[in-house]
Chains A and B, each alone.
Chain A
Amino acid sequence: MTASWVAWCDGLRRVRRAPAILAGVWLLTVLVSVPLALGLRGMLEQHLGSSLAADSAAAGVNDDWWQEFSDQASGLGVTFRPTIIGFSAVLDNLSAFVDNDHRPIVIVGAATAYVVLWIFFAGGIIDRVARDRPTRAPGFFAASGVFAFRFLRLAAIMWAVYALLFAYVHPWLFGDLYGRLTHDTTVERTAFLTRAALYVLFGLIVAACNLIFDYAKVLAVVEDRRSMIGAIRAAVAFVQRNAGAAIALYAINLLLFVVVLAVYAMIAPGAGTGGLSVWTGLAVGQLYILGRLWVKLTFWASETALFQARLAHAGYVATPVATWPDSPAADAIR
């Protein structure tokens, strides 16, 4: 526990010392979401037109209009539901995630693009927190570039594993098994507890995979591994050797995630009344998003710290920052 706590504190410190990374991933999140938000805005504006319904929609919630819009919506529009308001947005997404609900193709596309961008930048981020000193933009992007294709290979494996989990294991757990376990259950509380237990079970499986893949990334960067299968095997070995510390650290980070959600549950803005409240609501929402990103970075940074703390030598062992020769030098190589 002490090692986990120390690694977690170290991870927090490393993230704090890399504010540009946090700002960068937030910007990344905004850049992916803004075009879609603008698309939705266009749909809403077109539907509202010059109707007086817009006045009440601007000043609060016009549920009648909302229902009319939803009834004719397609694409992005179908996701514009009252569950986007306040903390229910978080529950909506978490619930859809753990229940494996299908999202519209445009959301799946955006999520895929977002994940690909994370894969691209993951090398740079882990490199930065592993070095625990500024790498500046060239170093960051160079590391990102170096690891991008390795992580794409890793992502292919991750995709296969998660696809197996969500396409086969989840339906089996929550369709077949849950159905069998509760077929004659007449007490809702029992069914809920059964489902909750299955959530925990499925969550543990996903978390275990996530843990291995996290350390595979960390090992790939810190040890400059080229084989992603090798990185996964090494990550499994590392987690086996340091099971207590690795799991405890994951749990602490998970707890941090829950704390961020709990805080947002208390301050999440409602529909608002227009004017300043709109911008206040947006600001609170973005603070929450920053909090989520901070938690994600803390996961990686603390796992990196734990791994480095367990190395035979304390320092960072990855290759030096990649520097590329200028064009004439490249010519000279020939």
Chain B
Amino acid sequence: MRLICAAAAILSASLASAQTPADGALKPPLSPRNANYSIDARLDAASRTIAGSEVIAWRNITQRTATDLQFHLYWNAWRNTRSTWLREATLGTGRNLPNPRDDDWARIDVTSIKLLASGGSAPADLTALQHAIAPDDGNADDATVMAVPLPRPIAPGGGVNVEVKWTAHVPRTFARTGAIGNFFFIAQWFPKLGVLQDDGWNCHQFHAGTEFFSDYGVYDVSLTVPQGWTVGATGVQRDRRDSADHTTTHRYYQEDVHDFVWTTSPDYVERTARFEHKTLPPVEMRLLLQPEHLDQAERHFEATRTALRYYGEWYGAYPYGHITIIDPAFQSGAGGMEYPTLFTAGTRWWIAPHVTTPEGVTVHEAGHQFWYGIVGNNEFEDAWMDEGFNTFSTARAISQVYDPNYFSPRFFGGFVPWVIPDVVIRRETDGNGLRSYRAVAKSDPQATPSYRYYPATGGGITYSKTGLWLNTMERWLGWPTLQRVMSAHFARWKFKHPKPQDFFTVANETTGRDLGWYFDQVYRSSNVFDYGVQELRSAPENGRFRTSVVVRRYGEATFPVDVLVKFANGERATEHWDGSDRWKLYTYDRASAAVSAEVDPNQVLLLDVNRTNNSRTLAPKGGEAATKWAMKWMVWLQDALLTYGALV
């Protein structure tokens, strides 16, 4: 048997190796490839400008005739303070740029847009027809979406080749895009088509709280940068040519992706490694590292391996065969972001052991290759479908490899970490972000389109609430069941654009249960879960003890919970409460008195916003705990007094 297993492992490993694409090509095609970009771009690092031209081969794969084309011009979000992005940023907390210098702003100007001749149709210059639209909020000052009417409609199944030329100014980093010093991180940088759906173009303005949405295609991109500068980009470098003008043109190619990003800097240090697994295809890992983080190279690789391994085992294989990890420059603001086959991690010069820097962000962003890269949901509208799924998955993967890890505040301007080993980071609460969720639990129903979330609180709903309700499902239905649900969703929707109902349908089908009532509460409502023990009494009566327990639903949302009552003689009583009524009374006639009562003792319902009220004991230790912690705090206070007293 062992021999058979070994043979099977060798066979699957060799099959996996055979499938490894080394040049960005994937056969057979994994996606519809209906938006294919061939781009030439030249960076003038001194003036921080990009001159680009692209030919987009677009095919209408909807049932709707297209009468215009709509493009994202994301960089116009940072053209001035009147854009929707910057207006929304001021609604939040601290996301607006303080006093930007003139050179810090961005812009992208389309200088030419032409339909190319194809299939007997004549070319047409559409440059004069381009105009900005603001489909989300009507903001006349927002120029992040450009519409161009077509001279002739494109019927379903038809296609068009469009040539676009543009110039752009690279900003000081906004939203992880831009430059600082010699570090350039160039994302969302080219005129990019929205997604045509059966109900029209889905081409949202750029919002402060949301990300992106595009069709899959083939990207063939030539980037001209100063000679000697290292380039990292989506895909695989196929060609590299030095020019007499001291520039080098790097050609990158990748099929079946929905975006293209690149970075360049003379300071990068390159390291490579390989991910290997007995059943998953190997992945070549390329790490572009800041010189001051050289000693952290292996930690980046190991964290990437963790994501590729666990996401691969749980959901499905990573098909591209290569991945690029970018360690962004200090205060570039480019860290912690996902792009197809490339992601930015983010670490610190001074890091501590048993703290998941850089692992946390690395696993998360590598994990986005699965939730965002391969399963391409609409991040404008349903950001929770990738960010939330990935928050849950990151916490789960981290707990497999990196536990225990500890709370580590940073002091002295945030430069100096200090590990507090008494405070252990828990996957269920810290990893999923219970605290973030609790603070904003009622701010928006999750079903609200993400771009309409209140910008300052959207993260708690997008990331944390989803992480918590998925982890609740894991604890309620069991990991094997949830894993089947998520892997089925992954398999069904990879290289497609799923909507929320698609996930709910998969969940119902896979579990064989109607989970609609659960999704109604966690997705369609902003109600909170809060169960508690209102009363616990235990009094002698006829030589025995009469115990009564009142449990209560303080929140509006409902969930079935267990109630555990413990007695002094070691007996236990476990009740299963459907949790729908406002309160429930349990009584017991036992030989000994009750000790404690607890709702949801196994902490299945991770969305419960107040766990302290979940239990009650007849031998409370609140005073003892309060004394202990007040004494510890007193030493802190005395130290604070002496610190300020040093000035006397």
Interface residues of A (CB under 8 A from B): 29-30, 32-34, 36-38, 40-42, 44-45, 47-55, 57-58, 60-61, 63-65, 67-69, 71, 79-80, 82-99, 103, 107, 110-111, 114-115, 118-119, 122, 155, 158, 162, 174, 182, 184-189, 191-192, 195, 199, 206, 210, 270-272, 274, 278, 281-282, 285-286, 288-289, 292-293, 296
Contact = CB atoms under 8 A, between A and B. Distances in A.
Given A33-B641, A34-B634, A36-B637, A54 B413 contact: no
A48 B638 CA distance: 24
Interface in B254-305: 267, 290-292
A182 B647 contact: no
Interface in B399-440: 407, 409, 411-413, 415-416, 418, 420-424, 426, 429-430, 434-435, 438-439
B429 A64 contact: yes
Interface stretch (B34-42, B243-251, B541-549, B617-625): B617-625
Contact of B416 (A50, A91, A285): A91
Contacts of A281: 631-632
A115 B645 contact: yes
Nearest to B632: A84
B630 A37 contact: yes
Given A41-B630, A86-B420, A186-B267, A54 B624 contact: yes
A285 B290 CA distance: 41
A195 B644 CA distance: 21
Nearest to A67: B435
A118 B429 CA distance: 45
B413 A99 contact: yes
Given A289-B638, A289-B642, A54 B622 contact: yes
A95 B413 CA distance: 8
Contact of B623 (A45, A83, A289): A45
Given A51-B622, A58-B621, A97 B644 contact: yes
Given A57-B625, A195-B415, A292-B642, A187 B330 contact: yes
Given A34-B634, A50-B620, A107-B640, A58 B625 contact: yes
Contacts of A88: 409, 418, 420
B330 A185 contact: yes
B121 interface: no
Contacts of A274: 624, 628
Contacts of A47: 612
B409 A82 contact: yes
B615 A52 contact: yes
Contact of B422 (A30, A85, A93): A85
5 contacts: A98-B412, A115-B648, A119-B648, A189-B349, A296-B642
Contact of A184 (B181, B415, B615): B181
B180 interface: yes
Contact of B646 (A30, A38, A210): A210
Contacts of B644: 97, 111, 114-115
B494 interface: no
Contacts of A289: 635, 638-639, 642
Contacts of A60: 422
Given A37-B631, A50-B617, A51-B615, 20 more contacts: A32-B641, A41-B626, A44-B629, A47-B612, A51-B617, A53-B612, A54-B624, A71-B438, A85-B422, A91-B411, A91-B416, A96-B640, A118-B648, A119-B648, A185-B330, A186-B180, A188-B292, A188-B331, A270-B422, A289-B638
Given A103-B640, A278-B631, A296-B642, A63 B424 contact: yes
A174 B628 CA distance: 37
A157 to B, nearest CB: 12
A118 B422 CA distance: 35
Contacts of A85: 420, 422-423, 632
A153 B574 CA distance: 70
Contact of A195 (B181, B348, B412): B412
Interface of B: 180-183, 267, 290-292, 329-332, 348-350, 407, 409, 411-413, 415-416, 418, 420-424, 426, 429-430, 434-435, 438-439, 536, 596, 598, 610-618, 620-648
A304 to B, nearest CB: 15
Closest 6 CB pairs of A and B: A285-B635, A41-B630, A95-B411, A48-B622, A186-B329, A50-B620
A40 B162 CA distance: 68
A188 B330 contact: yes
B617 A37 contact: no
B643 A93 contact: yes
A243 to B, nearest CB: 22
B622 A50 contact: yes
Contact of B615 (A30, A45, A53, A95): A53
B638 to A, nearest CB: 5
Contact of B647 (A36, A64, A82, A162): A162
A33 B634 contact: yes
A51 B624 CA distance: 12
Contacts, number: 273
B598 A52 contact: yes
A51 B614 contact: yes
B646 A186 contact: no
Contact of A188 (B349, B632, B643): B349
A259 B180 CA distance: 41
Nearest to B430: A63
Contacts of B613: 49, 51
Given A53-B611, A82-B407, A186 B636 contact: no
Contacts of A86: 420, 422
A41 B632 contact: no
B617 A52 contact: yes
B641 A97 contact: no
Contacts of B350: 188, 192
A97 B642 CA distance: 11
Contacts of B624: 54, 58, 274
Of listed A87, A93, A99, A185, residue having the most chain B CB within 10 A: A93
Contacts of A54: 617, 620-622, 624-626
Contact of B639 (A37, A89, A110, A278): A89
Contacts of A92: 409, 411, 636
Given A54-B620, A58-B625, A92-B411, A33 B647 contact: no
B635 A282 contact: yes
A49 B438 CA distance: 21
A42 B424 CA distance: 26
B429 A67 contact: yes
A61 B422 contact: yes
A111 B623 CA distance: 27
A98 B416 CA distance: 13
A278 B627 contact: yes
A199 B33 CA distance: 56
Contacts of A271: 422-423, 632
A185 B631 contact: no
A69 B622 CA distance: 13
B237 to A, nearest CB: 24
A164 B637 CA distance: 25
Contacts of A63: 407, 423-424, 426, 429-430
Contact of B413 (A195, A270, A272): A195
B637 A49 contact: no
Of listed B181, B331, B434, residue having the most chain A CB within 10 A: B331
A158 B647 contact: yes
Given A50-B616, A186-B183, A281-B632, A33 B638 contact: yes
A289 B635 CA distance: 8
A122 B438 CA distance: 49
Given A85-B423, A92-B409, A187 B636 contact: no
Contacts of B616: 49-52
A71 B436 CA distance: 10
Contacts of B182: 186
Nearest to B349: A188
A71 B615 contact: no
A288 B420 CA distance: 19
Contacts of A93: 636, 639-640, 643
